[in-house]
Structure 1
Amino acid sequence: MEEGGEHPVARKVQAQFPAAFIGAALFRGDLSIHLKKEGLFEVGRLLRDDPALDFDYPVHVSSVDHMGERERFEVVYEFFSIRKKHQVRLKTRVSEEDCTVDSLTPLWEGLNFMEREVYDMMGIKFNNHPDLRRILLPDEYDEGYPLRKNFPIEGRGWRDTFEFLES
């Protein structure tokens, strides 16, 4: 993996938010910027509002479970600039005890359902999300988070209680 700190986008983020910037990496030309969660929203605003960056398209939000590490969960945002034709990933880590991060939906409305999916499947809460509720699982589901590594592969037995209609 190449060092990404010299990439112009990474340099701009580091210069404007040195306290939030952890590091940057390039892999096959794709830039990832690692941030402290406290700086995520302001860095997102910079990516959207700075005319030189112009990240106008939120591509994806995902999460990673690094079970056994102090900051167990990682939230990964991917953005693209249609006019500038460049991309960036923002990555931030959260602990299981403080499993929250600021929502970027107020900056990009298109992130609404993607953040809800991460919340529903991994249990990461997004502060200031306009409608943080389940999107894939039933509202009454309370048996854990299916994308966490410690969720049983066979589930927790609730699938056995579904009644299927015969066609």
Structure 2
Amino acid sequence: MTTRTPLRWTALLVLSLWFQAGWFVAVLGRDAFAPLLWLMVVISLVITRWRYRAPLLPQLIVVSFGLIIDTLNQWLGVLVFSTEWLPNWLVGLWLLFAWYGWQMWPTLGRYSLYVLLPIGAVGGALSYWAGEKLDAVEFGLPLIPTLLVLMSQWLLVMALMVRVYREQKK
């Protein structure tokens, strides 16, 4: 495995814009734009695998963990989707998020957990809130309890990402 160097600001910008475009395609387009989202996911994973010979297992661990958390959130009524199971677009979004986290790791991995975990927790929860405002998901609980649940879960997601992506470097 090769150790990658931190990304230049232009690479950070391009990757972040790509991920944000995928987020908007998923959340705004939902099922109608799912083919475009899945095309973005495939392009992202193929290029990353080809360019960096990136192991897919760390990303799949993050995706699986995220899908388990969202499935539990749906079963417990924290998140309410228009489908019985997690929507197709959310699965694609988790794949794109895990890819993005792996891409950003050479830069983000330089920061302390005291910086990464709280920012990830707040950012993850706010992402769901934005999705709720755009009618992609409903909150089954009042706003503050839902955000607190999501923030605590995103602390776990970020801790897992740090652990898994740090391990791949060894």
TM over 0.5: no
Q: Which structure dedicates a bigger proportion of its chain to strand?
A: 1
Larger radius of gyration: 1
Q: What TM-score results when the alignment is normalised by the length of structure 2?
A: 0.25
Q: What TM-score results when the alignment is normalised by the length of structure 1?
A: 0.26
Q: Which structure dedicates a bigger proportion of its chain to helix?
A: 2
